[in-house]
Amino acid sequence: MAKLLRTIVLLMLIAITGIAAAQAIDPLPFRDHAEELRFQHLTSELRCLVCQDENLADSNADFARDLRHKVFELMQQGKSDAQIKQYLVDRYSDFVLYDPPVNGRTWLLWFGPLLILITGGVVVASTIRKRSRSGASAASAPTENGDDW
């Protein structure tokens, strides 16, 4: 079963690359440079579902180009970045967002590092306290000859 699955994935990949004639380099008629920057930023934070290791801005896949054009079209309609992201999330799930939203499912992701930092910080602080107290008198400065820097 697993082997079959892999073969299938491989075949799908072949199917995809076979048609990947379209290019990430994709001049679009932006109104001004600010709009172009906004587009570049937005598409760089969206994940391509076909080439899943690439963002929409860089992906050569035909599908990525379709979505890029959709994003452009929505921008022309005056939609905000949040609305455009929501539009894609409604159809393709949170998977398209390289910037995962902060919610119940991702709190560990967003606040985990903070938890580790606090825990580690407490350990470091207590170590420094202990060591500076235990040897307040003994904490002699090293010799002043400059070699023991």
CB of 128 to other proteins, least distance (A): 5
User: Residue 71 is encoded by which pair of tokens?
Assistant: 């994003």
When the beta carbons of 80 and 107 are compared against other proteins, the nearer one is: 107
CB of 27 to other proteins, least distance (A): 4
When the beta carbons of 21 and 82 are compared against other proteins, the nearer one is: 21
Backbone dihedral region for residue 146 (phi beyond 0: left; psi -120 to 50: alpha; all else: beta): left
Instruction: Report residue 122: phi and psi, to 5°.
Output: -65, -45
CB of 86 to other proteins, least distance (A): 11
- Of 36, 74, 72, 68, whose CA–CA distance to 50 is shortest? 68
Query: How far, in Å, CA of 122 to CA of 67, rounded?
Result: 47
User: Residue 94 is encoded by which pair of tokens?
Assistant: 């949170």
When the beta carbons of 63 and 79 are compared against other proteins, the nearer one is: 63
When the beta carbons of 11 and 80 are compared against other proteins, the nearer one is: 11
CB of 6 to other proteins, least distance (A): 8
User: Is 71 in contact with 43 (CB distance < 8 Å)?
Assistant: yes
